[in-house]
Amino acid sequence: MSARREPPQVRGLGTARLIAGLDRFQRLDLAAHTRVHPPLPRPARDALLDLAERIDLRGRGGAGFPFARKARATVAAAERTGTRPVIVVNGAEGEPPSAKDRMLLARTPHLVLDGACLAAAAFGAEEIVIGVAAGSPGEHSVPAALDERDLPCPARTVCLPERFVSGESGALIRGINGLAVLPPAVKARGAEGGPAGVGRRPTLLSNAETWAQLAVAARLGPAAYAAVGTGAEPGTVLLTVNRPGAEPLVVEAPSGTRLGEVLEVSGLPPGAGVLVGGYHGGWLDPAAAVGAPLSRAGLAERGGTLGAGAIVALPAATCPLGEITRVAAWLASESAGQCGPCKRGLPDAAEALAALAAGTGGPAVLEDLRRALGGARGGGACSHPDGTARFVLSALDVFARDVEAHVAGPGCGRPVLGLLPLPRDEGASLEVDWSRCAGHGLCGVLAPGLVRLGPHGFPVSTTIPVAPWQDHDARRAVNQCPALALHLRRP
């Protein structure tokens, strides 16, 4: 069983709110939940919207969109169309370094459901839908919690593939609607309903932590809720701290807490650099990271982003460029493959990174890498290209000396230890049998997005990752290879 199937352990800085009771219980069933948390108020629509506005509740899935604005748009669309809205809990956490939503749904599911039920009752929702990753603890924990409690409307759980794009809001809604779990080709707001909503109804979607924060705020009230955190960003934040050789730790801390304090309580030094915000986040120099306040505004001042709150401190013993290359290749294969930035830009960037990490790329390859990432930004149907570009470009700045060593010669001399977390189960890949390959070059024609040919017509790599959207081209290349030199290996 992989670490992602295990409910994460927790630690707190200051008074526990979201993790209250988890020092005594491994999981809060309804009986334990009611002993730990006071009775839940039932604010009417306008009171709930006012509460969310007064604490400036923002989405905790990465985008940070104001909850009240999204909720008002959903309610207005429902009134305009004469329909009832749908409440969606996004628990499809497909990013390897993030575990906070998985922790909430596994260990304190009723706190998340409290927030969703508050909105469902206040806004007259038709149903509540909770999206979880297939095989995650939430797949069993959430239905068990639903069976224990009274609900203001019907509720159901939908299991989605554990892929990076499954957590994108449009992809999640498509999955709930029974369609392929991919971001829609045209950006649209679920709050407006129509093709972008669940069952074409206005849809209010937020991630698990956002709903849990709403439940905490409803119990405390705006003044008590804002007693911790910063003036602009009150309350606490949930952070996933990834520890080499150990399971991730979910830490609750007041907004604005220094990153150094979170690393210290987690037993980690800042290492060679600290990633904040996960694989769509950015890298910070270790000296700057220690004093960085963990808030949206505080990190933005340092060129960082809070994102979904995932933190990785990269040890100095591993090759930074090799680590970045592993993740960039995975991000390229995890894309939806629907638009140019994902189909061409991200694979081109991953290939350039691989050449630099191997010490076979020079200044021109580094320039190609920056050009590919620059072209990928701002042009996709979702934020995947932009987030991937932020992750890689910030790494090139923070690890500039290591990049220079790889550009100028054989590299930094350190091994790639594989410390940036990735799924243990490898995806499909094309493998080249060099004893058979005769350099016909047909594979490069049949699968141009997969197979890159060198100057003599041979593939430049013996093992080529295959994204789900590239499966057809991969099979065609295998079936039509004149020398039978290609093999499609599946996990």
Residue 463 is predicted with a pLDDT of 74
482 and 366 assigned to the same domain: no
Q: Would the pLDDT of 270 be above 50? A: yes
Q: Which residues contact 321 (CB under 8 A, 6 or more apart)?
A: 353, 356, 357, 395, 399, 402, 403, 406, 411, 412
Residue 370 and residue 473 in one domain = no
pLDDT at 1 over 70: no
Q: Is the pLDDT of residue 3 over 50?
A: no
Which one is predicted more confidently, 344 or 390? Answer: 390
- On whether residue 149 sits in a domain, the answer given is yes
Q: Which of 248, 283, 314 is the last residue of a domain?
A: 314
CA–CA separation, 227 and 235 (whole Å):
7
Residue 14 domain-assigned (yes or no): no
**What would the pLDDT profile of 197-210 be if each residue is shown by its tens digit?**
999 999 999 999 99
What is the pTM for the complete model shown?
0.89
User: Which residues form the domain of 300?
Assistant: 236-314
Per-residue confidence band for 374, with pLDDT thresholds at 50, 70 and 90: confident
Give me the amino acid identity at 57: L
Are 328 and 441 in the same domain?
no
Instruction: Give the span between the Cα atoms of 444 and 414, in whole angstroms.
Output: 33
CB 192 within 8 A of CB 77: yes
In a shared domain, residues 329 and 390: yes
Do 295 and 385 share a structural domain? no
pLDDT of residue 385: 84
Q: Letter for the amino acid at 134? A: A
The domain spanning residue 464 has which CATH number? 3.30.70.20
Within a 13 Å sphere around the CA of 312, how many CA atoms are in the beta-carbon half?
31
In this structure, are 273 and 250 located in the same domain?
Answer: yes
Q: Of 283, 314, 345, which residue sits at a domain end?
A: 314
Q: Assess whether 31 and 116 both reside in one domain.
A: yes
Domain end marker among 168, 191, 225? 225
151: in domain:
yes
